[in-house]
Amino acid sequence: MTDFDAELEVKKLKKQTSTIRKTRYSKSKSRLDRYKGELLALSKEGSSCAELQRYLRTKRIKVAYTTVSRWLAKHG
């Protein structure tokens, strides 16, 4: 009969999971952070996410609508 240690196997699997898990990118800065003051001011004045997206386009930053809305939800 083979010796099977379930606790040891779980520890091994947990260690494997932690090493292969993808790193989150929330620690890195967003391209929108450079324009934080402007974006928050425009949003406060009533600009929509689509209008903010167009504003960023004039600054040569092409981002999706959802990127702007998620950034605003996090910072605004």
b/e code 8-44 from CB counts within 10 Å (16+ = b): eeeeeeeeeeeeeeeeeeeeeebebeebeeebeeebe
Q: What is the DSSP string of 1-68?
A: -----HHHHHHHHHHHHHHHSPPPSTTSPPGGGGGHHHHHHHHHTT--HHHHHHHHHHTT----HHHH
pLDDT, average across residues 20-39: 83
Can you give the pLDDT at residue 28? 76
Please state, rounded to an integer, the average pLDDT across all residues of the chain. Answer: 90
- What's this model's pTM, rounded to 2 decimal places? 0.64
